[in-house]
Structure 1
C-alpha cells in the first residue's frame, strides 16, 4: 500500500533535500521554471510512488516540506517550463532530473535516447521535443543524514613550505595494491597498509582525481570503455558511487579521518567549469532541465553553448545562484566531509567574464573572502582552451598553480635540449618571473614532472611518442609534444645498460623536483617506476593500463624517492616561502643565491648565453629577510650536470669553521656524508648536493 504524503510550505534554505529528524525540506533553484516537482520512489528505486509539486517560491527558489521522510528515501526532480532553445530554455517535464544538491546518487545513467530532451534523429535535431519518460534510465538521488562521528579529527594544516603533494586516482592507486580490503574504493585508500605506504613515502597531502559523482560518456560506453578519470561531473555534493563499497557516504568520511590521523591532508580535484551534460546534443540529466539559461553560458543565439572547456558546455559562474551552488559545494566538502583543499580543473574558465579573464572575478573574490574556504589549500590549473586561456602566474593569492613550465623545462634540460640552463635556473628558484608579485610566496608554484594527464615518469624516459590506440581515437588524442626521450629504444628496455640509463635519468628528474623551491607534486606510481605503456591520455583506461602496477615495483627507486623526500624535509633552505634573488642578507652580508661556473668563478652573461652549456651550479642560503624565528642552516651547493662528461666543480669558500659535505650523488643513487675540500666530482649525467656544516679541526 502506498502511503499518503503531502507537501507543506517548508523553507528556502538550506538548498537541496535536508533531513531534520522528522521529515525532509526540499529547496530547488530555478529562475525560469513554471513548476518544480519532487518525485519519490519505492525502496528498490523502481517505482515512482509520488509526484509532489513544490508549493512555495521565494524569489527563484522553490521549496516545500514532507513529514515522515527518512534518510535512504530515493527521489528525483522534474521541472516544467518552456522548451524554446533559441530563448535558452530546454525544460522537459518528461525527464527525471538529479537534484544539484543531492548528497548521494544510486549509480549512473543507462544510456538511452529517452535521456535526451529532444528526439534523436528528428530532422529538427535539438529543436524537436521528446515525450518519453527518462526515469527508467536515470539514477536516483538519495536523502542522506551526513552526520559522522569524527571524534578528535583535525585538519593537519601542513605549512605551505612543508607540503609535498601526491596526485592519485582512488581506484588506480588501490586496485592492485597488495593485501588490502575493498581495493578500488575509499575504504581501500583508508586501509592500514595503504596508509603505512604513504607515510613511509613521506608525502604530506594526497590530491585525488575527481571523486564527485561523474558521468560515463555515451561514446565511451558504446566502445566498451569508461570515464576513468572522472572529469564529467553531474553531482557536486555526492561522492562517486563506484568508489563506495556499500553505498554509504560515511565511507568517504572514514577515509578522510584515517588520512588525517596519519598526518596527510586530502585535496580534491574538482570540476566546476563544466558538467557532464555536454552541448545541445547532450542529455538532459539535471542543470539543463532545471534552468538551462541560468546554469550555462550560451552563445548569442542562445541555442548553442560557449565551449571554453572543450567538453561542450561552460558553467555560468557569473550567475549568483550558480556561484552560490559552487561555494555551497566547496563548503560542504570542507565542513561536512573534512577535506583540506581543492585543485580547480581548467580554473581560467572560472575567472572568465564577458571582458575576458579577470583575476578579480566574482568566483575568486568570493572564495578569498569566505571564512571557511580561504583557509584551505587552493590550487589552480591555470589554463583552458578559451580566449586568453593560458594564465600561469595570473591567479590571486592564496591560490597556488600547476606550473607546466617547470615540467617542460626540467624535461628539456635532462633531454639535453639546447639553451636550457637559464630556464632550469628559473624553475629551480620558484619561477619568480611568473609568481613573485602581489605578495605571493615561492610555494605558489606547484612544481610537477608528470601528472595524470600525460606520460608517467617511466614512460617519459621510455617512449619518444604517444601510444594511445587503445583509446579508440586513432592515436589523435593526448599531447603531441611531451619532451620525452626513449634513449634509443621505444618501449621496454632491451638491456641492463639501457634500464640503468633510464633509472639514472628518473633519479635526476626526481632530484630536480624535490630540490627546487616551490611546492612539489609527485604522480602516484612514479616512485615505483609505473608505466602506462606509452599511453599519455589514459582517461578511459579503467584497467591495467590506468591502474598502478605494484607487482613490478622498482624498490630501488622507491627507496631513492623516500630518501629525497626526507632530505627535503631536513633542509629548510629547500622549503622557503621567500624568493631567492641574489640579495645581501643581514647581518652577515652574504648573498642568498649565487650562480657559479664549475671552474669556481661567477657565471658571466656569456656563460648564460652559451646554448651548449649543460651544467648549472647553485649556492643557496636562507633568503634575505628570513625572520629570526625561522629554521636555519648555512648553505647548500647543488650541481646539475646533464652532459655525459664528468665535471670537476669547485665548491664555494673557504669558510671559517665550516666545511662542505657531499650528501647526494644521483649517478650512484647515493646518500651519505663525504667531507669535501676544494672541489667535487660530478659524473655525467647526475645531480650532486653538498651541505655546508660546522667543522672543528
Structure 2
C-alpha cells in the first residue's frame, strides 16, 4: 500500500486523557498508551487503502497523544509503534504491523492474511521481527462521533427477582421466519417486536448476551476456513461487534437501539465480557493490537519473556497491571454509561483475581477497582469463577458484591436426576447453596443457578447423548469436555422410540423445574425452551450454521416444552417464597415450625442418617411462606403461600405422605413434570397427612394456601 508523507500536517499537542480517538476543535485528538515505545505514528487510511502517517510527538505519563486537524468521524486509522523487539523480555514492537486502537469505539475489517499479521520470522521466541507490512490484511479502528439513540431507563430488576436468559445475538434470530430477512442475526433482529414478545411471554427479566465486543477469528480457524461463532476472542473492548449490524458502520447506533427496545419491555441487558485473554493468542499468534503496543504492560509473561497462559487461550491479560486495570474499568464504564447495559458476566473471572498470575485474591486490585467504582458498583456483576487451572476454581470465593455461575449447582442437579447420587448436596443447591455463599455478607441470589449454558450440551442433548459428538468442529472430537454428566436414556442421539422420547422430555422438565424452583438466580439457555439440539455437539464455538442457530419451527415436542417453561417462570414470579433474598436459617414462623423443613416420603422429617444415604433418590422440601424474607419494590416484607416440593429420581412411582395440618390446612398440586405442560395429573385439593402418588422420575409442586399480606411481619 502507498504511504503518503505527513510533513504538511501540523499536529497540536492535545491531551493524554481520555484515551482513544475523540473529535474536537476541528480535528481528532488521538491518545494511546505505550511505556516501551520510542515513537508512535497514527496512520490515517484512505478509501483507496493508501496511508498517511503522522507522528504523535507528545508523551505524557506513557501516553502518546496529539490533535490532528482536519480529521473527521468515519476516518479509518491504526497505530504503528517503533520500539524494542526482544522476545526474551516480552517486547514485540514492530512498526511493520498496523495496530488496532484498544480504545476504538468502532472496528472494521477482518484478519485476512496471517503471514502479514505475524510479527516474527521463523521461531517466535528467537527469530527476528517480520518486515512484512500488515496494512490491508488486518482490522482497522474507526473514528466515531459520540452519542446516539437514547437507551431508555434501566429496569433495575432486583437480583432475587431476576431470571437470566443467555443468548447469542446472531443465533437468536438468524432463522426466525417472522423477522425481516435484512434484520436476522443482528442487534435490530433482537430488538424486533417479535423477539421482544418471545422474551416477555417467556417471563425472563434479563438477557445475557454472549460476547458483543469486536472479536477476531483465531489463526487455526482461518486456516481451516472457519469462523469464531461464540465471540470469546476479543479484539476491541469498546467497539460493538460490527458483523451484528444490519448496515455496515451502524453497529453502535443499532446496539443502543436494541438496548432501548429491551429496556422498554422492562428487560435488562447484561453482556458477557472477556477480559482474561485476547484474540492475539500465544507467541505464534498475530500482532493486531496490544502485543505490538506494549506487550509487557498488557500480558502475563514468564521470567524468560514467554507468554503465560492460565486461560487455555494462548495468552492472559495481567490483572495486576495498572494499564489493564484502567482498560477494563474504562471499558465497563463506557458500556454501561454510553451503551446502556445493566451489568456484566465476566468470562474466566478468576484470572481477574490473580494479579501477575499468582494466587487468587478476592480483594485484588482489579476486583476492588470494579466493585468500588461509583458507576460499576451499581451494575449486576456476575463472575465465571474459574479459569484453566486448579488454582482458578473459585466457586463461592468471590467478594460480597459478586454473583457467580454456580458450577456445583449444575453438576449436582444433573447427577441427581441421572440417579447416581443421594440428596445431601441437592438440598444445599435447592436452598441457595449456603455451604458456598453464606459468608462474607453474601446472599442466596449470588448463586447463579444453571443446568446448561453455551458451552456444553443443550437441554435436549443433555438427555439424549452419553458422549459428545464434536466431529464437525474439525478437531477429531478432541475438543469439548468429557465431563457431561448426561444420560441418553437408552439410545444415543435421535430416536423414534416413544418410551425413550417420553422419558427424555420428562427428565428435561425435571431439570427445568428444579432450576426455576431453587433459591438463587436461575439462568436459562436460549433455545432450551424450544427443545433445541446441537446434534450432541458440546462445544459449537466455530459452527456459525444451523447447528448453533435457534430453530423457530413449531413441533410436537417444542410447543409443550415452551408452554411448560412459561408456566414455570410464571410460578416463580408470582411466588416470593420461592425466590427469597435471605438464606433459610430455621427462623420460627407463625406455624411454630422453621422456615424450611426437609421431609422423607413417609411424612417424617429427615434425620442425620438420611442425609448420608447415597441410595436415597427422593426428597421433600417444605418452605413456609409466612416468613418469607422477600420485599416488594417499596421495601415492605411480603408473605406468600407455603410450598411443598417433591423431587423423585427413582424409577418406580412413589407414594408421598403430606405434612400434618400444622404445616397447611390443604394442599393443592400446582406443577407436575409427569405431564407435558406441567398440569398436575391429580389436580384435586388434598388433606393433611393424605397420600399422593408421584410418578417415577418426576417432580411435584404443591401449594398450601394461606392469606397473603404485605407489610411488616412478625412470627
| TM-score scaled by length of structure 1 | 0.96
Q: Deviations over 1:492-537 (max 9, x none)?
A: 1222222111111111110000000000000000001000000000
Instruction: Determine helix, strand or coil for the equivalent of 1:503.
Output: helix
Label 1:536 to 1:270 Cα distance change in 2 as closer, same or farther (>3 A). same
Render the CA deviation track for 1:404-424: whole Å, top value 9, x for unaligned: 11111111111111x331111
1:143 corresponds to which residue? Answer: 143
2:501 matched to which residue of 1?
499
- Distance in 2 (CA, whole Å) between partners of 1:310 and 1:496 is 42
Post-superposition, which runs of at least 4 consecutive aligned residues in structure 1 deviate over 6 A? none
Per-residue deviation at 1:218?
1.6
| Corresponding residue of 2:713 | none
Please give the secondary structure, in 2, of the residue aligned with 1:391.
Answer: coil
> How far did residue 657 of structure 1 move?
8.1
CA contact 1:307–1:386 (8 Å) conserved in 2: no
Q: Which residue of 2 aligns with 1:265?
A: 268
User: What residue in structure 1 maps to residue 562 of structure 2?
Assistant: 558
Distance in 1 of aligned mates of 2:335 and 2:439: 31
- Single out whichever of 352-361 and 460-469 deviates more from structure 2: 352-361
| Residue equivalent to 1:339 | 341
- Once the two structures are superposed, the pairs formed by residues 152-551 of structure 1 within 5 Å of their partners are 153-181=152-180, 182-246=183-247, 247-248=249-250, 249-302=252-305, 304-354=306-356, 355-386=358-389, 388-417=391-420, 419-551=421-553
Instruction: For 2:480 and 2:323, locate their aligned partners in 1 and report how far apart those are by CA, in whole Å.
Output: 35
Query: Contact 2:668–2:686 at 8 Å: present in 1 too?
Result: yes
What is the CA–CA distance in structure 2 between the aligned matches of 1:476 and 1:41, rounded to whole Å? 42
- What SS does the corresponding residue of 1:664 show, helix, strand or coil? strand
1:47 and 2:59 equivalent?
no
- Determine helix, strand or coil for the equivalent of 1:235: strand
Does the CA-based 8 Å contact 2:642-2:706 persist in structure 1? no
Residue ranges of structure 2 left out of the alignment (5+ in a row):
708-715
Question: Mean alpha-carbon deviation: is it higher for 261-270 or for 653-662?
Answer: 653-662
2:705 is paired with a residue whose SS is strand
1:670 pairs, out of 678, 690, 693, with: 678
Deviation of 1:621 (Å) = 2.1
- 1:84-105 CA-to-partner distances (Å, cap 9, x unmatched) read 1112211001110000000111
* 1:370-415 superposed Cα distances (whole Å, 9 cap, x missing partner): 1110000100000012351100000002110001111111111111
Query: Displacement of 1:111 after TM fit?
Result: 2.5
Which residue of 2 is the match for residue 631 of structure 1?
Answer: 638
What is the alpha-carbon root mean square deviation over aligned residues?
1.8
Q: Which moved more, 1:494-503 or 1:432-441?
A: 494-503
Q: Normalised by the size of structure 2, how large is the TM-score? A: 0.93
- Aligned with residue 684 of structure 1, among 693, 696, 702: 696
- Residue by residue over 1:428-468, the C-alpha shift from the partner in whole angstroms, topping out at 9 and shown as x without a partner, is 00111111111101000000010000000000011010000
- Contact in 1 for aligned 2:106/2:143 (Cα 8 Å): yes
Contact 2:218 2:281 survives alignment (8 Å):
no
| Alignment match, 2:660 | 653
The answer for unaligned runs of 5 or more in structure 1 is: none
Contact 1:111–1:218 (8 Å) recurs in 2: no
Q: Secondary structure at the match of 1:12?
A: coil
Cα gap change, 1:560/1:124 in structure 2, threshold over 3 Å: closer, same or farther?
A: closer
Instruction: Give, in angstroms, the shift of residue 655 of structure 1.
Output: 3.8
Q: Tell me if 1:598 matches 2:598.
A: no
* Partner residue in 1 for 2:710: none
How many Å separate the matches in 1 of 2:15 and 2:328? Answer: 20
Deviation at 1:15, TM superposition (A): 0.5
Give the corresponding residue for 1:128.
128
1:303-330 CA-to-partner distances (Å, cap 9, x unmatched) read x111000111110121112210110000
Between Structure 1 and Structure 2, how many residues are aligned?
687
Report if aligned partners of 1:579, 1:623 keep a CA contact under 8 Å in 2.
no
SS across alignment from 2:670: strand
Structure 1 Cα separation of the partners of residues 131 and 294 of structure 2: 18
